[in-house]
Amino acid sequence: MLANPSKQWATSAPRRTTTATQHLPSSPTIILSLPSTEYLKKEEIDVELLPPEDAKVIIMDRTAEQLQKISEREKDPNASLRVAVESGGCHGYQYKMELAKTTISECQFSHPTIKPANIVVDAVSLTLLNGATIDFATELIGSSFRISDNPHSNGKTKWAITTIAQSKFQ
């Protein structure tokens, strides 16, 4: 045991705490659409499409509320947050997020009660995002959408986050 307790805490692994459970949706996220197998073959997208009952992205309430505000401000009920996973060089993978409209090549998810609140993910990225939680955080330095929990991130792979410019949220 170390003589100075503060040094003991400084050298131990950080404890992971979250208040995310306070903002979880009361019912599961709704899948609005998945790309067809025919479309994926036609476009030569080499991915095994998840069955609808296995495809899952959790949209937090505060995320849905922010998407609803953006949709109202843009006067576009089809406004969506596109989330993708890209190769990130020395970081392994990185998340890319942008405001977009849904296309037939993407998986579209919606919050169960707060509408409109849509998330779109391409079929390839869904294999790395399936089961992930999409959150919206407000901090002193700004606000952003983020992936707060991803079961495919194992701690060995580094994930960098690319977020949308803060001005989109004002």
Domains (ranges, CATH) in the chain? 27-169 (2.60.300.12)
- Residue 169 burial by Cβ neighbours in a 10 Å radius (0-12, 13-18, 19+): middle
Judge contact between 146 and 137, C-beta under 8 A. Answer: yes
> What's the chain's average pLDDT?
75
3-state secondary structure of 149: strand
∠ CA 133-135-139, rounded to 5° = 145
Strands 118-122 and 93-101: unpaired
The predicted pLDDT at position 72 comes to 92
Distance CA 151, CA 149 (A): 7
The answer to which of 27-36, 116-125, 146-155 has the lowest mean pLDDT is 146-155
The predicted pLDDT at position 147 comes to 87
Distance CA 58, CA 1 (A): 42
**Residue 9, pLDDT above cutoff 60:** no
Q: Give the DSSP letter string of 88-140.
A: -GGGSEEEEEEEEE--TTEEEEE-SSSSS-EEEEEHHHHHHHTT-EEEEEEET
Q: What is the percent of the chain where pLDDT is above 90?
A: 21
Distance CA 112, CA 124 (A): 24
Average pLDDT, stretch 55-76? 91
The predicted pLDDT at position 89 comes to 56
Distance CA 126, CA 99 (A): 17
Q: What is the percent of the chain where pLDDT is above 70?
A: 72
List, for residues 80-126, the tens digit of each pLDDT value.
Answer: 999 998 877 556 778 889 988 777 678 899 999 998 889 999 988 99
- Structure-model confidence comparison of residues 131 and 89, the more confident one: 131
Average pLDDT, stretch 25-31? 78
